[in-house]
Amino acid sequence: MRVRKAVIPAAGFGTRFLPATKAVPKEMLPLVDRPIIQYAVEEAVASGIEQIIIVIASGRSAIEEHFDSHPALERWLEDRGQIELLRAVRRITEVGTIAFVHQKEQLGLGHAVLMAKELVGDEPFAVMLPDDVMLNPGGTPVTGQLIEQYSAHRGSVIALHRVSREDTSRYGIVAPLREEHRLVEIGDLVEKPPPDEAPSDLAVLGRYILSPKIFDKLETTQRGAGGEIQLTDALRALAREQPVFGYRFEGVRHDAGTRLGWLKANVALSLESDEADEFRAYVRSLDLRD
Ligand code: G1P
């Protein structure tokens, strides 16, 4: 079955970015010229996804407004001949269907994904965590790579990346059964294990292609690490019944979910932007000695 839908959870409090995220959702913070979440939406579209389901916190409308049309702004830009900007603004609303579902209580990533159950229905779907900005310029987008693996192996597929041992406590970590080149057959998963308990150095990054069976698992998943309903715990239950694969994707991941990661992502993306030459000259001019 084709993967047509993607769920993008965007309902957290963004505590790492407070007070910036008191009124503005973290996913709306800019990375160079667009909000963080737009990178995930563009990746979804480039991967052939037709319907995007964004899970937002109740009472927060900035993300919905961002993907909605804005006739007054468009007219204003048109009247002034700002055609490039007009195109950029219109492009946002031309990404296919976007549906929004509300998460009333912040009970964790697994719970956020469960909110999309009715809209996803009985078909495989992608989950894309917008904090992980995945870029593979000139190549297949990361979600597209996972979809290819899903089609080839008929099992759920999770994006994996090797991390240093001291970082295992920041990620879901998998216990591999077998590894063949980039493909990993997963036996078990643990959410944020301390380094001495981590079953490997293969970390889950925020891209998944999931069998709809995950919803049954999420419905019975108890609160886990951090007191939250974890997607990793539901995947662990799924892996006991169905094949779950990991794929060491090709491409670069920027962690826009921490302050330092967000700053680094802005620098890296600025060095690839239209203003790269000027920005590079500025960085070179800085006195970077201690
Ligand atoms: C989530 C997942 C974790 C995964 C990570 C990737 O954690 O729970 O398994 O490794 O995303 O970014 P979070 O960063 O939301 O705490």
Mutate to test the pocket of ligand 1, among 129, 168, 254 (most ligand atoms within 8 A of CB): 129
CA dist., res. 146 & res. 170, Å (int)? 22
Q: Tell me, using a 6 A CB cutoff, whether residue 233 lines ligand 1.
A: no
* R_g (Cα) of the chain, nearest Å: 19
**Residue 188: burial class (beta carbons within 10 Å; 0-12, 13-18, 19+):** middle
Q: Which residues contact 196 (CB under 8 A, 6 or more apart)?
A: none
Q: Tell me, using a 6 A CB cutoff, whether residue 57 lines ligand 1.
A: no
Output the pLDDT for position 95. Answer: 77
Residue 126 CA to ligand 1 center (angstroms) comes to: 15
Output the pLDDT for position 54. Answer: 97
Q: Is 261 helix (H, G, I), strand (E, B) or coil?
A: helix
Classify domain 5-273 at the CATH class level: alpha beta
Q: Tell me, using a 6 A CB cutoff, whether residue 257 lines ligand 1.
A: yes
pLDDT tens figures, 6-26:
999 999 888 999 999 999 999
CA dist., res. 260 & res. 282, Å (int)? 19
Output the pLDDT for position 59. Answer: 79
Residue 97 CA to ligand 1 center (angstroms) comes to: 26
Nearest to 51 by CA among 114, 103, 100, 99: 99
Mutate to test the pocket of ligand 1, among 7, 156, 204 (most ligand atoms within 8 A of CB): 204
Q: Tell me, using a 6 A CB cutoff, whether residue 132 lines ligand 1.
A: yes
Mutate to test the pocket of ligand 1, among 26, 170, 189, 214 (most ligand atoms within 8 A of CB): 170
Output the pLDDT for position 215. Answer: 98
CA dist., res. 159 & res. 139, Å (int)? 16
CA dist., res. 129 & res. 148, Å (int)? 19
Q: Tell me, using a 6 A CB cutoff, whether residue 262 lines ligand 1.
A: no
Q: Tell me, using a 6 A CB cutoff, whether residue 172 lines ligand 1.
A: yes
pLDDT tens digits for the chain (290 residues)? Answer: 899 999 999 998 889 999 999 999 999 999 999 999 999 999 999 999 999 999 999 878 999 999 988 999 999 999 999 999 999 898 888 877 899 999 999 999 999 999 999 999 999 999 999 999 999 989 999 999 999 999 999 899 999 999 999 999 999 999 999 999 999 999 999 999 999 999 999 999 999 999 999 999 999 999 998 899 999 999 999 999 999 999 999 999 999 999 999 999 999 999 999 999 999 999 999 998 88
Output the pLDDT for position 179. Answer: 93
Output the pLDDT for position 207. Answer: 98
Output the pLDDT for position 102. Answer: 95
